[in-house]
């Protein structure tokens, strides 16, 4: 993301952010169901679409398809991690030389924000190579996705490193 002189581990953490919001919001607000949200009558479908797009971004990082990864990120996106906020351009610069080899998304939670946007949070466990160095990490990720025209894009993502027990 924004720090060009980051270590491979920090760079890896920054990249997950791109796919990587608002964990405090989720904790402060109970999970909303379709019955509770009249503006989002088809919450399960919306949730499936957004989770699928998040996974598509992760798969793009596994296959090295940085164009697809960029297409899934809004031009005006804000991506935040321990280094602070970053723009789409900064994130795309930092994902060069980064490849995921394996990942899992656990404990996915969803909050609808409108009939065409939503927030997901999950715990990611990942392995990969960042600028020639192998890494393994766990983090909590939050992402806001919205549909613009016919395309889904990530507007905001935030990552918090998971404590190692």
Nearest residue to 57 (alpha-carbon basis) of 141, 116, 138, 165? 141
**Contact (CB, 8 A) for 81 and 17:** yes
User: What burial letters (b/e) apply to 121-156, b meaning 16+ CB within 10 Å?
Assistant: bbebebebebeeeebebebbbbbbbbbeeeebbbbb
pLDDT in tens, 42-90: 667 999 999 999 999 999 999 999 999 999 999 999 999 888 999 999 9
Structural tokens at position 153: 């894009």
Return the ∠ at Cα 37 (arms to 31 and 39), rounded to 5°: 135
Query: What domains appear along the chain, each with residue ranges and CATH number?
Result: 8-161 (3.10.450.50)
What is the pTM assigned to this prediction?
A: 0.74
User: Where is pLDDT greater, at 110 or 13?
Assistant: 110
Nearest residue to 66 (alpha-carbon basis) of 138, 107, 18, 101? 18
């Amino acid at each position: 993301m924004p720090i060009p002189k980051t270590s491979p581990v920090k760079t890896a953490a920054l990249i997950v952010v791109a796919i990587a919001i608002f964990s405090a919001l989720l904790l402060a607000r109970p999970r909303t169901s379709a019955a509770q949200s009249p503006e989002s009558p088809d919450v399960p479908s919306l949730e499936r679409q957004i989770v699928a797009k998040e996974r598509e971004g992760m798969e793009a990082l596994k296959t090295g398809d940085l164009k697809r990864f960029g297409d899934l990120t809004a031009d005006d996106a804000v991506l935040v991690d321990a280094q602070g906020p970053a723009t789409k351009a900064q994130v795309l610069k930092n994902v060069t030389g980064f490849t995921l080899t394996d990942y899992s998304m656990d404990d996915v939670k969803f909050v609808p924000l409108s009939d065409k946007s939503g927030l997901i949070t999950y715990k990611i466990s990942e392995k990969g190579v960042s600028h020639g160095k192998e890494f393994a990490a766990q983090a909590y990720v939050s992402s806001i996705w919205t549909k613009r025209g016919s395309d889904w894009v990530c507007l905001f993502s935030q990552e918090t490193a998971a404590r190692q027990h």
